[in-house]
Structure 1
């Protein structure tokens, strides 16, 4: 795509002005900047954008309602614009589940300075959104929510980090996943179709602080699995999914006969924190042939090198296929670098994971 047309919908005049200037400097064509969705729709009917940057709280019509209307009538790549707050994270997760392909985070203070900084990540997010395959996003089919009683049963117990949960069965197998742009609906589609007997999972989803907690909370209410934002020392047990916290790395370690995760601070690795290669390399070292690795939708190449390390260590590995990816960048690199032993569609991935786990058991 040579020219990318962008529409900005935000009730803040500061955001509209400085975000327009930022995107114009980066080579995008800002075809409009509207204060609310109703004004935006009038302009969009005359000139439809390739990417929409959409605020959440606006007069007359909020961003979530507009997003749902847009996805029903004419699916378009949308980046949600939200503040770095717990409430903002929960609302953003609703938006991502409704079809937004990504989000940009704006601070409560220093907004003008943030928007003037070319290193704020917004330009890369818009480019990634412009590459999104909206038909792939619409083909995802998340499972139905579980009854509320099941949700409460999965609440994190008040144990100290690393404390033993007598009811949890240590996982002999470990599933490691890397996922980024388009990942919220995609990972929901997989996790809602896995049984409680699935091996323990460790996942890097590229997100900033606050957002992974909201994602885990949402998925914990939809899945048979227990889904948590990881804390240092958490055990990897059957039926449990641990997301690396936004803004922190995660790696796998052994503690006796068990697997646990280490959550730690550190510099960005290839522009990411958490970084999937950091996780995958640790899984290769700790779990070897007892591991299963998957690289899913996302922009860039994070996870490709680590997946190859896992394959070389005897793990079973796969990449999501292009037809079902919102953005095929990360899986493409995993395939190109030779780390993906198989290419699997999104619909086939849950059954493939369980078959790979059974095959690993037979090989043990």
Structure 2
């Protein structure tokens, strides 16, 4: 590619679009060029706020020739159609997760990108967190010893399950909740361990949606295996305190990466006598918690939360994707192939979903 900035159009002007827009503006060599949304109120409002043109359709945006790449930020069942339209129109594509509604669609999107000579990527944004980069480096270096188990958790209340709006895509079918939230968890497992084999799926805490909308589980427990690592995915949307973390247990240490707060805390044995070890270990953990908390507080105070962990995850995901685009070496964390692997694993889990009561 040339040294000119990569011009990006956002397809979809909902909540997540502002995070993408701000991350694009914080990424060197990339500029926000257009907003596209079939809702004039949403699209024009956002376009005016960012000082870029508005288009009512992808066709209009393509005809204007103002973009080199497009971010697909609509509801998931539209991702495939819109991504293909952009690819065949000559644009690179970066799709929000879930990349597609199923593995077949995901694979088709990647193949069409290859045929068009374009790059397609996915917004597995939490893989961009600094704390996760440190965790992955520790794992690959062997600092935790032989890792035998991993626990990947998403415990965060989801208000729409209880109070609506009940027409959201993630509530339309029972499988949609895992497709919507699962990529965050499965992306970690694939990036760390490679191929993941699903062993079993359990669901619980059923809730009945208003207006005969059906029953939806509020908790999922998925057991899997990746090579010699036993992997547990826990997803809960009941009223609990926020606990989103990746926990690795190895023969010489345990690491907990909190991806809601971008912190990494490591506990390991040391050379002291066994009686002293617990005290030294707890002092070490306390020091790590303090250090990580101070760093995050400084970030957020300095930038009105655009340097919050969520904001940083987007900025680093954009940086990784567009650096790979420029260099001709796609970052596998955010690649289309990575997206396919994640969606196929989620489909394998859905195949083991117990029948509805």
Shorter-chain TM-score bucket reads 0.3 to 0.5
Instruction: Pick 1 or 2: higher relative contact order, CA cutoff 8 A, min separation 6.
Output: 2
Point out the structure with the larger helix share. 2
User: Rg: which structure is higher?
Assistant: 2
Point out the structure with the larger strand share. 2
